[in-house]
Every structure is written in C-alpha cells, then in structure tokens.
Amino acid sequence: MRINMIKFITKRLIIAIPTLLIIIAFGFIMMRVAPGGPFTNERALPPEIERNIQEAYNLNKPIYEQFFIYIKNLSVGDFGPSFKYKDFTVKELIISGLPVSATLGLSSIFISLILGSFLGIIAAIRKNTYFDYSIMGISLIGICVPSFVMAPILSLFFGLYLGLLPTSGWNGGNIFNLILPITALSLPQIAVISRMMRSSTIEVLNSNFIRTAKSKGLKSSYIIRKHVIRASILPIIEYLAPASAGLMTGSIIVEQIFGLPGIGRYFVVGALQRDYTLVSGVMILYASLLIILILITDILRAYLDPRVKI
Amino acid sequence: MNKQENIKAIEISKTLKGRSLWVDARRRLFLNKAAVISLFTLIIISIVSVFGPFFLQYNFSDTDWGSIYQPPSFETGHYLGTDGNGRDLLVRILHGGRLSLSIGLIATFVSVFIGVLYGTIAGFFGGKLDIFMMRIVEILYAMPYLIFVIILMVVFGRNIYFLFIAIGAVEWLTMARIVRGQTISLKEKEFIETSKALGQSNTLIIVKHIIPNLAGPIIVYITLMVPSVIILESFLSFLGLGVQEPLTSWGVLISEGSREMETAWWLLIFPGSFMVITLASLNFIGDGLRDAIDPKEY
Amino acid sequence: MQSIQKNIKNSNLLLEVNNLNVFFDTADGKIQAVKDVNLFINKGECLGIVGESGSGKTQTFFSITGLLSSNGYCNGSAIFKDFDLISASEDKKREYLGKSIGFIFQDPMTSLTPHMKIGEQLSEIATFHDNLSKSEALKRALNVLDIVKLPKSRNLINSYPHELSGGMKQRIMIAISLMCSPELIIADEPTTALDVTTQSEILNIFNDLQKGMGISIVLISHNIGVIAETSDRVMVMKGGKVVEKGSTFDVLTSPKDEYTKHLLSCIPPWLEG
C-alpha cells in the first residue's frame, strides 16, 4: 500500500512538472517580450534597478541558458528583484504577504468545506422542506452576488452602519478584522459546496446500496455517517482545487477592499504597474499551490473511494 | 408524386420530428415560473440597456459640477442619483449594462466556438489524439486561469477587444470537456454508424450529425457561462484592468461605488443590484433550461 | 378480526398480508402500483411470486419492509408473527428489519456500499441488532460465509465490493441477510443479473436455507423456471393484482388464469419437463 502510494505520487508529479514548466516558461517569455517589460528598452529605468536586473538575469548569456538559470533560481525560491519596489526582492514581498493571505485562504477553505457540506447534507435529508428551500435560497444569493459586490456591502452594513466590525486593516491578525473578509471570501464557496453536496447526497440516498443499508434495519443517523457521507463527499473533494483557485482570485478582491497587505494586493499593484517579476512570481506561487492541491485531491479521493486505482 | 415532391415530403417530416423534442422542452421551460420570470426580467434589462439611454435627458459622460453626489430623486431627473463628477448614475448603469451584456455574449461565443470544435475533434477521432488533446486541457485546468487573464491584460494592454478574446480563451475548457464526453457517447449511436456506412465524410458527420445533437448541453452551458463571463469582466474592471474610462461597465461602476460608498451608498447599491438581478436571472434560466432539455426527477 | 383468529388457529403462519395497496405520487398524478393484495407465508416455506416487470411484485415487498421510494405510500396490513409492519413506527420496524427479515436485491453489483470493506458490511448488522463486539461479529461473519459457500478467509473480509464478481457479491448479500438468523428472507430477482451457472448455485443455496435451516423464503422472479425449481407455492401478479395463486405444481400443470397460461406458453418446450 505504502509503495503504491509513493508510485502514485511520483506518477502525479511527472504530470505536474510539465504544467509548472509551461507556467514558468510563460512568465519567462512574458518578461522578455512584453511591452514595457524589464528587458525591453521601451522605458528608461533608474540605473540602479537596471544594473540589478542585468546581474540577476545574466542577460549576456544565450536565452536557453537564461531560462535554465531562471528555473534554477526558482527552485531555491529566488524569484528575482522586484521591478517596482526597488529595495525588495519578490521573495521578500511574497513572504511579507504570505501570513495574511494564508490566514484568509486557509480559514475560508475550512469554513466553506465544513459549513457547505453540513448544510448540503441537511438540505438533502430534509429535501423539499422549508429548511431545504431556505438553505438553497440563501445559497443562490451566494452564487449570484459576486465577492466584489458582497464585500463592499458587508463592510458598508456591518462596518459603517452598525459599527460592529472594523472595515479595513490587518491589525496584526486581530479576529475582528478577519470576520468580514473571511465571510466575503467564504460565502460564494459555501453556496456552491452546499448545492453540490445536496445533489450528490440526494443521488447517494437514492442509490441501491443505501436501500441495502436500510433493509438491514440500521439507524438513519448511522447510515448517513457510515454509508452516505463518504460516497457523497467525493464531488466536493474534486471541487477542492477549483474552490481554492476561486479563493485565490477572490482574495485578490477581498484584500483590496479590506485593505489587507496580502499577496493578492501585491499582485494587483504589480499588475497595474507592470511589475513583471512580481506578477510572474505570484503566478508561479499560485500555480504550484494549485498543483499541490490537485495532488492532495487525488490522494484523498483514492483514500475515500477504493475503486480509484492507485 | 415525382421525385422532387418525395424529397420535400421527407424534409418536412424530418423538421416535424426534429421539432417535437424542442417543442416539448419549450413547454416544460414555460411551466417553470422562476425561469419565465427571469427570462422576462432579462429581456427587460437588455431592452432598457440598449434603448433606455436615448430617452433620458442626461448623457453618460456629461459632467455637472453643480450636482455632484446627488441622492436619487425624481425632481432633478437623476432617478438613481449622480456620482462624484455629477454624472447621472442611471444612464451610466444602462451604458455599463450594454457593455457587460455584450462582453458576456461575445466572449461566451468565442469560448463555445473553441470548446465545441476542440471537444468534437477530440471525442470524434478518439485514440491518441484524444489523449493528447485532453492532457492539454488537463494541464490548462491546473492553472490559475483568472490570474492568467490578468497577466494577459497586463501584457497586451487594456484593450476592450482583447478582453473579449482573453476571457473567451480561458473559458472554453469546461465546454471542451462536456462536448467531448457527449461526442463520445453520440459516436456509438446507430445513426452515426449508419452515416459512416453510407460513406459520409468525417467533417460532414461532425457538422451535420454530431454538433446539432450537442445543441441541448451547449445551450444550457451558454446560459451558465454568460454570468460567469460577466463576473469575470466585472472582476477585471473592478481591479482597474478591464474596461477603461470613459467607457463603463457594471464592474467599473461597482468599483467606483465601493470606493465612495461612505458618502454615496447609491453608487454601490444600484449597479450592484442590476448586476445581481441579471446574474440571478441567467442562473434561473440556465436551471430551467437544463430541467427542460434533460428532465431528471429530483 | 379474521386474521387474528387465523393466527391463533395456524401457529405455523409467519407473515400475513391483507388488503395491501401501494400508491406513487408522480408528475402525471397518483398511480396505484399494487391493488388489494392478500398473501400469507408459513414457516419454512418458499413462496414464489411471478409476474412481468411493473406487475407490482417488488413494490409489494418494498412496502411491507418500508423501502418504498419517498414518493410512495401504502395502506393495508402486514402481520409478521403478531406485529403489524405497516402501521408500526420506524424505530419499531427497524427491530425486525435485518434481524428477523432479510432482504436480497436484484442487482448485486450496486447493492453493496462501495467504500466499505465486506467484513464491515457483514458485521455492522450483528453489532447493531445483537450487540456483538466487532470481533465477535466478524467471527460470526466468517461462519456465515461458510453457509453461502464462500471461502472463510480474512482476505475476503478485508476486500472491497469492486474486487468481487457478481456471483460473489450476491452470496455476500445472502450472507448479510443471514447474519442475525432471520425467519424470513425476501429475495427480489436474486439471480436475474447473474449468468446461468451462478444462477443455479445461488438457487441451491436458497434450497439449503429453506430445507436445512427452516427459513421461509419469498422468491420474486419473472422467470417461471426459477420459481418451479424452488418454491412450494406460487402467486402470479399482473398490473398490481394477484391473478392466480396455489401450489406450484397445481398452478404450473393446470393454470386457470389466461395470463398464467400465456406465461407458461412462453417457456420454450425443451425446458418443460
């Protein structure tokens, strides 16, 4: 079993590597051909930055060697100097933003998964009752109100009108500063997950093996716990990676609106100011995170569904 | 009856038979109250967005320094108030609607075109080509596509036409997957085998038999893709990477509104409501269509 | 009143169903799937139910055991020993289901929970009904596997359903129904999804259960050949109604109802004997 697992992971990594290489190549090419990029002479740069970049990218060497050096640097976490924040490297910027973004992202994904699945299961068990209708109604709001509408409205209502919660700032990770951003970030995902969980649970409840479990005279709570959930949670596990991608992009907005100094905020500033090194650094970070998540998804699925071949 | 008439009769019977399925679906769709109300709402929003500005006294770019941050009022004719430059909000929302809706439609068509072509080719020819093409989709799937779009917008400038293409270019993946799956199951059906036995070319079979039979899932998916494209555009515009002044879209308005909501709540609430109502309508229509075309009891 | 008197007279009676009706709410209105069905089963007896698909034979027994889908409901009475299964509460019914009444379904491929090990699917029923510990329940499971002629192996206990063949899965299903030594086993088309050799092996197991262990069996099938091989009495259903019942020999040799005659005429002559 353990040897199989190692084989399985290596196999997945072999698929993941080209993906990552394509993304890195994309970032590399972008930096070299993009208008206003660091290696075009379209813009006059302050000499000290020019020198930094010349050194960091070995521009005198042939292009394939440059690419090789770029990958080598990336593998030790060196994303190069920032193009706009001249005293910082991209790595430093990412490290400074990481605690904020990770706190937001991880708590949102846990809250969405747990709350979304829970609400979905209950809605499925109580199908066509008022409980079901109200959960599905609320989740529809979550789906139709995008985060960039939800976040300002939340901060307008709870922050400005009711004065209950602070509307912006990180404040060292104070819990009250986190409530609104996490809510804005999780709501759409809770909505999607609860709908998915509801329909997959209904499907499982109608399946033959649940009829068998019922014919055994087992308690419904036991049937739900042992027979239903592990089968009905599979689509949610598959959704883990897309959900995280959604949270990553969502956090870009939410960090912007609530003035949180996370990676997403650097990304937007970098994009607006054409800081290509910063932008491609963040892109590579996000892509690697997603690839790791997809790997975790595969492992979880193999664990939950014995039919999946490892 | 001569030969010509015979052929005509066959043609007619064909169209009759082909329609009955759609008539059935339409009947089911119109029985769905939420879908009908949503369809009605969407049509009204579209008509008002396209023709409304002609009937209003203000222009969408007219600034009026004498009436900045006017709250909604019937007396001044600024039914939904004005913004920080004294521009009429209603006109701007309608103009934004034109842009948001047309981006939604055009980008969706771009992605449906790519997705259908890609998916049918992969599914129809199968084998190694299929594995290769789907591996590419898998790799692209693993990428943070929204971040991709942002980067594309950064690299190629904030051009509105490029926005259509950039969004279309990342949204086709799911379409390709759905179409491929459907094509594979269609390929096994007898009528395709018959066409093959009759010696029809692959192109002809794809165009005449496969794609028309994919219409159901494609239509359903379009109604679900348009809202996600609208959200994507607004998302970019919200960050300042999408539509640029003086043009406006719902995303741009919501972005402005959220910055100024402390002084003028209406700048956030009204554009937001227009957008949310549109998205909700599209969702209901999509659900209704799915149930109508592929009825499944739950 | 009548049924109670009969009960006292006939101590051999295990299950008696009276005036059973089953309805379904559908998009096209209310549909009656079972119309006024009466039947009884004695201890140690095998009752065969024949009929085409949609004749209500399966729904009759689903309604008795409370397995109807959510849009279905029923009325009438089903007295098991001295207990009415239809009017009973869910909790009360559960005490009988799986414990005294076992159910075997048509499609063994999908009737086992895919993510649970065979051992757990066998043992959970005994830990639940008979308060056995996990290891005791597993020990019993191994013994039950012997009855259904599966190897008494740890290997099997630790495998997942998808690793077994259809015939093995159906034996597991039978084993599950035997875990708490039931008095009645309802088998709904237990051999339909299996190939002919496996079919006869499974039918032999049913014969052993009935003759050797004295368990009553209801065998639901559309296949008269299967019924002829195993059941003592037979009941023919069509369109939700019972059209003919009697001892298997009588019904098969001198059918009275037109439909039964028609069914019998469908058997190819080389199978008659």
pLDDT per residue as tens digits for the range C82-109: 888 888 888 888 888 888 999 998 888 8
Residues with Cβ within 8 Å of B241's Cβ and at least 6 positions away in sequence, in order, are: A271, A272, B150, B153, B154, B158
In a domain, B184, yes or no: yes
Yes or no, beta carbons of A231 and C116 under 8 Å apart: no
Question: What pLDDT does residue A118 have?
Answer: 93
pLDDT per residue as tens digits for the range B130-143: 888 887 887 777 66
In a domain, B282, yes or no: yes
Beta carbons of A291 and A227 less than 8 angstroms apart: no
Pairwise pLDDT comparison (A136 vs B29), residue with the higher score: A136
pLDDT per residue as tens digits for the range A4-43: 777 777 877 777 787 788 888 887 887 777 666 555 555 5
Buried b vs exposed e over A226-246: b needs ≥16 C-beta within 10 Å? Answer: bbbbbbbbbebbbbbbbbbbb
Dig out the tokens for C223 from the structure.
């296949």
Beta carbons of B124 and B195 less than 8 angstroms apart: no
Distance from the first to the final alpha carbon of chain B: 50
Question: What pLDDT does residue A278 have?
Answer: 83
Dig out the tokens for A39 from the structure.
């290696």
CA distance C103 to chain A (A): 6
Question: What pLDDT does residue B164 have?
Answer: 75
Torsion of CA B166, B170, B175, B179, to 10 degrees: 100
Mutate to test the interface with C, among A207, A209, A215 (most CBs of C within 10 A): A215
Yes or no, beta carbons of B276 and A145 under 8 Å apart: yes
In a domain, B77, yes or no: no
What is chain A's mean pLDDT, rounded? 81
CA gap C266, C51 in Å, rounded: 13
Beta carbons of C231 and C248 less than 8 angstroms apart: yes
Q: How many domains does chain B have?
A: 1
CA gap C33, C37 in Å, rounded: 11
C98 closest CA partner among C61, C130, C58: C130
Question: What pLDDT does residue B77 have?
Answer: 67
Laid out side by side, the sheet with C72-80 consists of C29-42, C13-26, C72-80, C83-84
Length of chain C: 273
In a domain, B10, yes or no: no
Cα C244–chain centre separation: 20
User: Using CB atoms, which residue from C111, C124, C128 is nearest to A208?
Assistant: C111
Q: Interior CA angle at B222 toward A204 and A290, to 5°? A: 65
In a domain, B247, yes or no: yes
In a domain, B54, yes or no: no
Dig out the tokens for C248 from the structure.
């298997």
pLDDT value at A122 more than 90:
yes
Yes or no, beta carbons of B275 and A286 under 8 Å apart: no
Segment B62-73 shows an average pLDDT of 70
Q: How many beta carbons lie within 10 A of that of residue A272, not counting itself?
A: 16
Question: What pLDDT does residue A42 have?
Answer: 52
Dig out the tokens for B269 from the structure.
């609430």
User: Using CB atoms, which residue from B155, B268, B283 is nearest to A143?
Assistant: B283
Segment B150-163 shows an average pLDDT of 73
In a domain, B190, yes or no: yes
User: Using CB atoms, which residue from A146, A282, A294 is nearest to B231?
Assistant: A146
pLDDT value at C124 more than 50:
yes
Comparing A52-66, C154-168, C251-265, which segment has the lowest mean pLDDT? A52-66
Segment B33-57 shows an average pLDDT of 84
pLDDT value at B1 more than 50:
no
Write out residues 124-183 of C within 8 Å (CB-CB) of A: 124-125, 128-129, 160, 162, 173, 176
Mutate to test the interface with A, among C25, C64, C104, C113 (most CBs of A within 10 A): C113
Mutate to test the interface with A, among B131, B151, B162 (most CBs of A within 10 A): B151
Comparing A139-153, C106-120, C155-169, C226-240, which segment has the lowest mean pLDDT? A139-153
pLDDT value at B153 more than 50:
yes
In a domain, B80, yes or no: no
Question: What pLDDT does residue B193 have?
Answer: 81
Q: What is the 3-state secondary structure (H, E, C) of A38-72?
A: CCCCCCCCCHHHHHHHHHHHCCCCCHHHHHHHHHH
The number of helices, as runs of H, and strands, as runs of E, in chain A is 13, 0
Yes or no, beta carbons of C111 and A127 under 8 Å apart: no
What is chain B's mean pLDDT, rounded? 78
Tell me the torsion sign for CA atoms A121, A127, A128, A131: negative
Question: ipTM score of the complex?
Answer: 0.87
What is chain C's mean pLDDT, rounded? 85
Beta carbons of A68 and A145 less than 8 angstroms apart: no
Domains of chain C: 45-77+91-107+114-265 (3.40.50.300)
Can you name the residues that pair with C235 across neighbouring β-strands? C49, C245
Buried b vs exposed e over B109-119: b needs ≥16 C-beta within 10 Å? Answer: ebbbebbbbbb
Comparing A134-148, B159-173, B280-294, C83-97, which segment has the lowest mean pLDDT? B159-173
User: What phi and psi values does residue C182 have, to the nearest 5 degrees?
Assistant: -75, 165
Torsion of CA B66, B72, B78, B82, to 10 degrees: 50
CATH of the domain at B128: 1.10.3720.10
**Contact B261/A at CB under 8 A:** yes
Chain A residues whose beta carbon lies within 8 Å of the beta carbon of residue B235:
146, 148, 249, 253
Query: Which chains contact A through at least 3 pairs of Cβ atoms less than 8 Å apart?
Result: B, C
Segment B90-105 shows an average pLDDT of 85
Chain A residues whose beta carbon lies within 8 Å of the beta carbon of residue C95:
217
pLDDT per residue as tens digits for the range C138-147: 999 998 888 8
Tell me the torsion sign for CA atoms C41, C44, C50, C56: positive
Q: Which helix (H) or strand (E) holds C238?
A: strand C233-238
DSSP 3-state of C117: coil
pLDDT per residue as tens digits for the range B107-126: 888 888 888 889 888 888 88
Question: What pLDDT does residue C7 have?
Answer: 47
Comparing B108-122, B158-172, C37-51, which segment has the lowest mean pLDDT? B158-172
Pairwise pLDDT comparison (C192 vs A51), residue with the higher score: C192
CB pairs under 8 A between A and B: 112
Beta carbons of C201 and C166 less than 8 angstroms apart: no
DSSP 3-state of C15: strand
User: Using CB atoms, which residue from A34, A140, A156 is nearest to B268?
Assistant: A156
Chain A residues whose beta carbon lies within 8 Å of the beta carbon of residue B136:
none
Pairing label, strands C13-26, C29-42: antiparallel
Return the percentage of chain B with pLDDT > 70, whole number: 83
Range of B277's domain? 21-48+87-293
CA gap B242, B157 in Å, rounded: 10
User: What phi and psi values does residue C81 have, to the nearest 5 degrees?
Assistant: 55, -100
DSSP 3-state of B242: coil
Question: What pLDDT does residue C2 have?
Answer: 46
User: Using CB atoms, which residue from B234, B257, B280 is nearest to A144?
Assistant: B280
Question: What pLDDT does residue A194 have?
Answer: 92
CA distance A125 to chain B (A): 13
Comparing A55-64, B167-176, B198-207, which segment has the lowest mean pLDDT? A55-64
